[in-house]
């Protein structure tokens, strides 16, 4: 199965379970980490036909998604004498994909890269759409570029080694897309388990179709692309408050969706039944759905650190019924306090 990402420049395709060979008449470097390398790099290397093929291994973890690792990747590219026609291949989750994409976008003013995502989260979201970046002491993904991959290969076989929690974190992003963009898909998710291989393939395909449509309309997040951040405004505060150590990103997004849904409910955008249906679906994948807000004031203040906040206005992506969304940046502080108080411990 192939899904096209149609852009003004540099359109490309995402292939699902169609990776047979990667043939490139150039030098290639696969960027990965020790965890993924031990499990999957040999499989990938057997499929690559290139002038030269190298592997660049960086440490595993979000805490290494920084300038130091980026610089290491770039220096390895120079050591390997990669040229402007060379291609980087990201083999790993969103961390590897974001850093490899960033390195590719600035190495000798930009070279091609290919995404081979190995987490569910990266297959349904991070590997498609060209957002690249690293973290710094001011926050997550604050330094980066838009640089589209030349191709994306999503192979579900790589997901078989994924820890259960990481799988669920990816499911949270699947549910996120269904709630805001596709009622029929949400209803399908309620009836079909993603632990069944053919269902998983179908869900990945549906998410990539949604993302393809969104990114084709709005590559640079000037409008509808922001809807992909449903659950993230609350989720980012939770990640920040818990110092990125208690929850995986997808888990924080799951809680964030539930909190955003309380806000939707307060505003009359979502019914109690709809709110419960989202919660029940998240719980089916052992995702967390609630959070103890210690201080409503400080939780509220942290909204302003969000990249989507402008001129002291916080942008909320809200579910509107199931399968729709509403973007709001004029929610009264009192309303937000009322919602946050429901979560106060
Ligand atoms: P991750 O890349 O850290 O991977 C999670 C863990 O799973 C890591 O320890 C990794 O080594 C391991 N792993 C990867 N594949 C595996 C496999 N097949 N088997 C066993 N273990 C495997 O995390 P993630 O959830 O994939 O991605 C999160 C990152 O993605 C964040 O940095 C986030 O900012 C970014 N992101 C980017 C976008 C985008 O549009 N660019 C979108 C969403 C998230
Ligand atoms: N994951 C959000 C986006 O790609 O815009």
- Mark whether 188 and 332 lie in a shared domain: yes
Helix (H) or strand (E) holding 139: strand 139-143
DSSP state of 140: E
CB-based contacts of 16, cutoff 8 Å, min separation 6: 1, 2, 3, 154, 156, 201, 204, 205, 208
* Domain-ending residue, one of 101, 135, 161: 161
In terms of DSSP bridges, do strands 134-136 and 87-92 run parallel, antiparallel, or are they unpaired?
A: unpaired
Ligand in nearest proximity to the CA of 91: 1
SS3 (DSSP) at 240: helix
If asked whether residues 6 and 44 sit together in one domain, one would say: yes
Select from 161, 185, 216 the last residue of a domain: 161
CATH code: domain of residue 28: 3.40.50.1970
Quick one: angle between helices 183-191 and 272-284, nearest 10?
50
Q: Cα separations (Å) of 220 from 6, 156, 217, 226, 342? A: 14, 28, 9, 9, 35
Instruction: Please give all residues whose beta carbon lies within 6 A of any atom in ligand 2, as ranges.
Output: 125, 129, 131, 221, 225, 228
pLDDT in tens, 90-102: 999 999 999 999 9
User: Are 172 and 130 contained in the same domain?
Assistant: no
- Residues 98, 187, single domain; the answer is no
144 shares a domain with 18: yes
Distance CA 209, CA 3 (A): 7
Share the mean pLDDT of the chain.
Answer: 96
What is the pLDDT, as a whole number, of residue 179? 98
221 included as an active-site residue: yes
> Are 258 and 308 contained in the same domain?
yes
Of the residues 140, 161, 182, the one at which a domain ends:
161
Burial environment of residue 322 by CB neighbours within 10 A (0 to 12, 13 to 18, 19 or more): buried
Q: How far apart are CA 7 and CA 54, in angstroms?
A: 30
Query: If you measure from the C-alpha of residue 79 to the centroid of ligand 2, how many angstroms do you get, rounded to a whole number?
Result: 32
pTM for the predicted model, two decimal places: 0.96
Q: Are the C-beta atoms of residues 111 and 42 closer than 8 Å to each other?
A: no
Q: Do 118 and 248 reside in the same domain of the chain?
A: no
Residue 125 Cα: closest atom of ligand 2? 1
CA 191 to each of CA 33, 169, 207, 245: distance values in angstroms, whole numbers, following the listed order: 36, 19, 17, 33
Bridge-partner residues for 139, per DSSP? 136
Mutate to test the pocket of ligand 2, among 101, 125, 145 (most ligand atoms within 8 A of CB): 125
**pLDDT score of 307:** 67
Question: Both 170 and 250 in a single domain?
Answer: yes
The verdict on 114 and 207 lying in the same domain is: no
Q: Give the residue carrying structure tokens 């897309």.
A: 177
Give the closest residue to 24 by CA, choosing from 77, 106, 82, 101.
82
Give the mean model confidence (pLDDT) for residues 238-249.
93
Helix (H, G, I), strand (E, B) or coil at 145: coil
Sign of CA dihedral 177, 180, 228, 61: negative
Closest ligand, as measured to the CA of 141 = 1
Question: Is the confidence at residue 2, as pLDDT, over 80?
Answer: yes
DSSP H helical ranges for the chain: 34-36, 42-47, 67-79, 94-106, 120-121, 164-181, 183-191, 197-217, 232-241, 249-266, 272-284, 296-302, 333-341
User: Is residue 249 flagged as an active site residue?
Assistant: yes
The pLDDT confidence band at residue 137, using thresholds 50, 70 and 90, is confident
Give yes or no: residues 300 and 225 share one domain. Answer: yes
Residue 204 and residue 146 share a domain: no
Select from 97, 146, 208, 221 the residue to mutate for testing ligand 2; criterion: most ligand atoms less than 8 Å from CB. Answer: 221
Asked whether 72 and 58 are in contact (CB, 8 A), the reply is yes
Would you say 141 and 135 are in contact if contact means Cβ atoms under 8 Å apart? Answer: yes
266 Cα to the center of ligand 1, angstroms? 34
Domain count, the chain: 2
Q: Give 295-342 pLDDT, tens digit per residue.
A: 999 999 999 876 666 667 899 999 999 999 999 999 999 999 999 999
Distance 299 CA to ligand 1 centre (A): 26
Distance from the Cα of residue 175 to its chain's centroid: 13
Active site residue 173: yes
Domain that holds residue 137: 2-161
DSSP 96: H
Distance of CA 135 to the CA centre of its chain: 14
Q: What is the CATH number of the domain that holds 182?
A: 1.20.1090.10
More confidently predicted of 309 and 8:
8
Which of the residues 27, 65, 151, 211 is marked catalytic?
Answer: 211
Percent with pLDDT over 70 in the chain = 98
Give 63-98 pLDDT, tens digit per residue.
Answer: 999 999 999 999 999 999 999 999 999 999 999 999
Specify whether 130 is located in the same domain as 199: no
């Amino acid at each position: 199965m192939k899904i096209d990402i149609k852009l003004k420049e540099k359109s490309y395709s995402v292939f699902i379970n169609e990776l047979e060979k990667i043939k490139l008449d150039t030098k290639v470097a696969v960027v990965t980490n020790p965890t993924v390398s031990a499990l999957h790099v040999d499989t990938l290397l057997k499929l690559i036909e290139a002038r030269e093929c190298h592997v660049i291994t960086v440490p595993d973890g979000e805490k290494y998604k920084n300038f130091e690792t980026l610089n290491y990747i770039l220096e390895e590219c120079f050591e390997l004498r990669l040229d402007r026609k060379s291609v980087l291949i990201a083999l790993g989750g969103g961390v590897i994909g974001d850093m490899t994409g960033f390195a590719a976008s600035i190495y000798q003013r930009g070279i091609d890269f290919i995404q081979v995502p190995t987490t569910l989260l990266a297959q349904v979201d991070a590997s498609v759409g060209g957002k690249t970046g690293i973290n710094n002491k001011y926050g997550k993904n604050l330094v980066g570029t838009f640089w589209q991959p030349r191709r994306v290969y999503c192979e579900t076989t790589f997901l078989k080694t994924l820890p259960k929690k990481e799988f669920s974190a990816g499911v949270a992003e699947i549910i996120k897309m269904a709630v805001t963009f596709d009622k029929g898909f949400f209803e399908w998710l309620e009836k079909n388990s993603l632990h069944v291989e053919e269902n998983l393939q179908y869900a990945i395909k549906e998410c990539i179709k949604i993302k393809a449509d969104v990114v084709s309309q709005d590559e640079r997040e000037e409008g509808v692309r922001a809807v992909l951040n449903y659950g993230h405004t609350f989720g980012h505060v939770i990640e920040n408050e818990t110092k990125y150590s208690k929850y995986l990103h997808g888990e924080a997004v799951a809680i964030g969706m539930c909190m955003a849904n309380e806000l939707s409910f307060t505003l009359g955008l979502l019914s109690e039944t709809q709110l419960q249906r989202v919660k029940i679906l998240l719980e089916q994948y052992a995702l967390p759905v609630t959070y103890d807000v210690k201080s409503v004031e400080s939780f509220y203040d942290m909204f302003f650190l969000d990249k989507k906040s402008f001129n002291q206005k916080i942008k909320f992506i809200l579910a509107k019924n199931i399968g729709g969304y509403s973007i709001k940046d004029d929610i009264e502080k009192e309303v937000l306090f009322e919602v946050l108080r429901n979560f106060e411990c």
